[in-house]
Amino acid sequence: MKLVMTLSTVSLLTLISIVHVYWAFGGRWGKHAAIPSQAGENRPAFVPGKMATLFVAVLLLIACLILLVQSGYTQYLQASMMTRIGCVVCGSVFLLRAIGDFRFVGFFKKINHSVFAKNDTWLYSPLCLYCGVTFMMVGLRQQLLGI
């Protein structure tokens, strides 16, 4: 189960990172559905810049590396206290993202009628929940199993 959850999470986050790089260099496909909208308006709540979008892409790849190392799927890098803490931090971030800010994103958002909000309810927040559970499971595995 750990293998499937880890590799599926890494695959999904890598794909999402690639999409962020695509957006940073001018790609438009899917962009309107990936940014929250203002209440009752058809304009985005914020407009991320090129550097911010690339920063998110890099953070996603770093999270993938942390998960792979902590899971023991890398040959040259060994799991350590830093990768364990990294998994717990990443898991916490993903779980908090799934819960949301109670306004634009997450399961408890108030703005529910935009394209982003519908995708967030059915795709983005469940994906964040899944990623959060995977990171926490890998990061806290020794405590959970009593090893």
Q: Can you give the pTM of this predicted structure? A: 0.90
Q: How far apart are CA 25 and CA 74, in angstroms?
A: 30
- Please tell me which of 42-51, 71-80, 87-96 the model is most confident about, judged by mean pLDDT: 87-96
Rounded to the nearest 5°, which phi and psi values hold at 50?
-60, -45
Question: At residue 147, does pLDDT exceed 70?
Answer: no
Rounded mean pLDDT of the chain?
Answer: 91
Q: State the DSSP string of 110-126.
A: S--SSHHHHHIIIIIHH
Predicted confidence at residue 23, as pLDDT, reads 95
pLDDT greater at residue 46 or residue 6? 6
Q: Confirm if 103 and 110 have CB atoms less than 8 A apart.
A: yes
* DSSP summary character for residue 33: G
Q: pLDDT of 63-84, one tens digit each? A: 999 999 999 999 899 999 999 9
* DSSP summary character for residue 25: T
Query: pLDDT > 90: what percent of the chain?
Result: 67
pLDDT band at residue 114 using 50, 70 and 90 as cut-offs: confident
Q: How far apart are CA 17 and CA 75, in angstroms?
A: 23
pLDDT greater at residue 35 or residue 44? 35
**Where do the structural domains in the chain lie, given as residue ranges?**
2-145
Q: How far apart are CA 124 and CA 130, in angstroms?
A: 10
Q: How far apart are CA 31 and CA 22, in angstroms?
A: 10
